[in-house]
Amino acid sequence: MVSFIGQYWLKVITVLISIALFWAGDHHGAMQANNAWRIKWAQRDRDDANALAQRQAQERAEEHRRQRAADAERKQADEERASAQADADAAKRAGDKLHKSVAELRNSLARSETGKLSALAAERAAREKAGILLADLLRESDAAAGEYAKEADRAYTAGRSCERTYDAVTGVKTVKK
């Protein structure tokens, strides 16, 4: 009976050792698999972090390029505005000179008394008044035309600046008609 009980415990111990060895081997294999996955995930995380850093650097570079393009366009627009303002100032000086000449002519016509004695004096006075009226009309229309031209230049410069900024920032050339 002792040998039967001894053999029984020997078999139980053998089975328990086998189970323990099997569990240890399985646990060791699972740990190796987990470590392999941890290494793969760590590599994936490093690759993702590197890709993110590279993408952010590219986006920063693109933003800097766009800002430089916008700054260059702003500088060009300022130069165009200054040129348009200089042209407007020159036109205003020429208009002022014309207005002065018209005013002198009008005053000269108004002071003219050489024809008051004749029958043609009434006709001449009517012509003088018509000349004065036309001179005033010319002065007013010239002033209005100057204002319209100044506003048109400003709008044109702003529109072209906007268009060039868009082209520079997006890299797309707008179609000109």
Mean pLDDT in order along the chain per 10 residues (177 residues) = 68 80 71 83 93 94 90 88 85 80 71 55 67 76 82 86 84 66
Q: Is the distance from CB of 53 to CB of 111 less than 8 angstroms?
A: no
According to the model, what pLDDT value does residue 112 have? Answer: 61
CA distance 98 to 157: 28
- What are the angstrom distances between the C-alpha of 123 and each of 52, 57, 112, 128, 134? 90, 84, 13, 9, 16
Q: Look at residue 116 and give its three-state secondary structure.
A: coil
The predicted structure's pLDDT at residue 168: 82
